[in-house]
Amino acid sequence: MSAAVDVVVPTFNGFELTESCLEQLGRQTIPHRVIVADDGSTDGTPERVRERFGARVVELGANRGFAAACDAGVAAGNGDVVVLLNNDVDAEPEFLARLVAPLEDDARAGSVAATLVQPGGALIDSVGLTADRTLAGFARLHGRPLAEAGAERPRLAGPSGGAGAYRRRAWEETGGLDERIFAYHEDLDLALRLRALGWGALAAPDARGLHAGGATMGRRAASQRERAGFARGYLLRRYGVLRTPAAPRALATEALVCAADALGSRDLAAARGRLAGWRAGGGLSTHASPPADAVDAGIGFGESIRLRRAARAEGGAGA
């Protein structure tokens, strides 16, 4: 690999996870620079990272969210390739080499999705993201055997922010992650904007990282479900989904999801978040629609609901 590689690791406490992540990065087979973007940790993560690893640390000073941390980390580097890696991912030694290689082979590729593996090593946590006709996003190939990481369906929209490579030129052309989204779906939004600009997305099935966060996490707090709802409402408006033929399905799906969340959690966090996100998207320009091959029209209504339930059960963005 001849291109310079920056690996951005966003952190918010959890130094033990970060320590393991950085140890594994130290065993990679290609040169790279690590940039830790700390989102206001209170457990001494910045100081401990500097002392233990001597890595570049960018401190945001407060918890501004995943997108803000990643954007700050990317801005602090100048590598031709940017890799986003969650601090709860332990990468295999060949991870970086295999992840960034497709960007050299295909000049129009703007991003590459890595394979995140669930604890135990037998099942896939995700190989990037996929999106249905309403632009609802899901962890691609989640729960399937690791041997199926190279499957072509469902279609790949782009990388998960937890483990993905981006051509810096493509990243900068889009403006990076949207910091209006505090958490959830910011990686899907970036993937769709990249595809709308004509950049291709590839998968690297053999670029594997063990994702400690891939285990079942249980029911999320109301604040988490509200943030997921915000992101969904915001993207529905930014992409003008309710002005497309997918509008009836989107409305039916969101109504069903909000009702189920209200009954199960006995609060209106999911609905409240969607309303706030919809309002936040008002007055902003509408994003261009992604090309047809960035969306998997084969994900039907029933499958979409099943995927939402599965994500919610595992602490993901299903609300």
- pLDDT at residue 216 above 70? no
Q: Tokens in use for 125?
A: 């946590």
Mean pLDDT of 279-303: 96
DSSP collapsed to 3 states, 226-282: HHHHHHHHHHHHHCCHHHCCCHHHHHHHHHHHHHHHHHHHCCCHHHHHHHHHHHHCC
What integer pLDDT is reported at residue 149 of this predicted model? 98
What integer pLDDT is reported at residue 2 of this predicted model? 78
Q: Tokens in use for 164?
A: 């993905």
What integer pLDDT is reported at residue 219 of this predicted model? 53
pLDDT band at 215 (very low <50, low <70, confident <90, very high): very low
Domain with CATH 3.90.550.10 in the chain: 5-214
Mean pLDDT of 29-48: 97
| Whether the Cβ atoms of residue 290 and residue 240 lie closer than 8 Å to each other | no
pLDDT tens column, 235-272: 999 999 999 999 999 999 999 999 999 999 999 999 99
- pLDDT at residue 74 above 80? yes
**What superfamily would CATH give domain 5-214?**
Spore Coat Polysaccharide Biosynthesis Protein SpsA; Chain A (3.90.550.10)
What integer pLDDT is reported at residue 60 of this predicted model? 96
- pLDDT at residue 313 above 70? no
- pLDDT at residue 214 above 60? no
- pLDDT at residue 218 above 50? no
Question: How much of the chain exceeds pLDDT 90, in percent?
Answer: 91
d(CA 63, CA 227): 14
Averaged confidence pLDDT in the chain: 94
